[in-house]
Amino acid sequence: MITEKAERVLENYRLCDHCLGRLFAKLGKGTNEERGRAIRFVLNMERSAKGLPPINGPEKCELCGNVFEEIPRLVGKMKEASDGIEFDTFLVGSRFPEEVREREQAIWAKFGIDTAEPINREFNRELGKAFGIATGKDTAQNPDVVFIVEPYSGKIELQINPLYVYGRYRKLVRGIPQTPLPDFEDSVASIICRAFSKASLGKCIFKGAGREDVDVRMLGNGRPFIVEIKRPKRRRLDLDAIAKEINSSGKVEALNLSFVSPKEAEKVLTKNHRKEYLAIVLVEDGVTPEEAKEVARKLSGLEIHQRTPWRVRKARTDKVRVKRVHEAHAKWIDEKHFELRLVTDGGLYIKELVSGDRGRTKPSVSDLLGRPAWCERLDVLNILDD
């Protein structure tokens, strides 16, 4: 049946061994070229027994135009395109002209062939094997780079997949934003990205798991963040050396740097963390030690209804968020100040929890005291994973 069908095809189309074998790609093992050569050999034996002339391979394949002969040249062009790029794994994709794919499908339909595979699939596989042998690189489902090849023009498009690095940062000083803002020389993001861009020669994008205000420090175990490095020329990064460079700023420290997958990075950024804060509360009308302790007692376990704060209403959706204060502890400092240590749901605005924000946060420390209170200083002590 195979040789009969192959004979009918070859009587109508002059096909190379690759294109002949590919018609029966789902049958048996081996490469399509080997399969095609074997089919042609058996077919010509049968034709010889019948006194018929052989059907030899054509000088130029009517379907592919001998494109598989271009593989050595294309391997060279792929090496040129990736020169200076550090990578260990790769994949190959190709763009074949529409007329080639239509011609192939017309043959399938005309002869009722349901055992074939598309030309681009074979071409990608064979070119990938040749490139791997020439360079010692391996193919992978999630590769470092992807080569998109136009077989006939020889054009090579190189896609360099991004790197993702997880870490936690501590912001040791007040007065720097998390991301760049006008009138600020530095930011957490710029200090971190400078080191990563220098090491990778790629473009760095910083993504924090939440943020703190410009005047708030981030201490303790640090805030989780992800660095996405687009089109890195270097991938084998020394994360310890990068952390050392970041830490030398004296403003920001990077901890626990490690490479992660895109899915792991997304999980870090979407996870809702509880947070531990230390706030210095100012009460101009005065506060006693007993009142400070009573505020903390009432806050513990309290559900807070917080409308988007007045100060960020233009940048955030205006809605009421329901958050909880899980723990609260107070320490009296003087007649006008006390220290408030809190563990709360992520996304609860602490400054507004203290002031009440013109009634947009209820209840607030001001409500519980019965007189105005303000957050004079604030630090994030820890981001709690559990």
pTM: 0.88
178-189 mean pLDDT: 96
- Residue 53 — pLDDT band, cuts 50, 70, 90? very high
Do the domains spanning 163-270 and 274-384 agree at the CATH topology level? yes
Confidence check: pLDDT of 272 > 90:
no
Q: Count of alpha carbons within 13 Å of 158, Cβ hemisphere only?
A: 22
Tokens of 322: 């329901």
Percent of the chain with pLDDT over 90: 96
**Does 277 appear as a known binding residue?**
yes
Q: Which of 80-99 are b and which e, b meaning 16 or more Cβ less than 10 Å from the residue's Cβ?
A: ebbeebbbebbbbebebeee
Domain ranges of the chain: 2-160, 163-270, 274-384
Confidence check: pLDDT of 15 > 80:
yes
Name beta bridge partners: 327: 343
Q: What is the mean pLDDT of the chain?
A: 96
pLDDT given for residue 357 in this prediction = 97
- Residue 348 — pLDDT band, cuts 50, 70, 90? very high
Confidence check: pLDDT of 119 > 90:
yes
> Residues 126-182: pLDDT tens digits?
999 999 999 999 999 999 999 999 999 999 999 999 999 999 999 999 999 999 999
> In CATH, what number does 163-270 get?
3.30.70.2510
- Tell me the pairing of strands 145-150 and 155-160: antiparallel
Distance CA 94, CA 174 (A): 52
33-60 mean pLDDT: 97
Annotation says 213 is catalytic: yes
**Does 349 appear as a known binding residue?**
yes
326-335 mean pLDDT: 98
Catalytic, out of 17, 144, 213, 386: 213
Angle at 305 between CA 300 and CA 309, to 5 degrees: 115
Query: In this structure, which topology does domain 274-384 adopt according to CATH?
Result: Alpha-Beta Plaits (3.30.70)
Confidence check: pLDDT of 386 > 90:
no
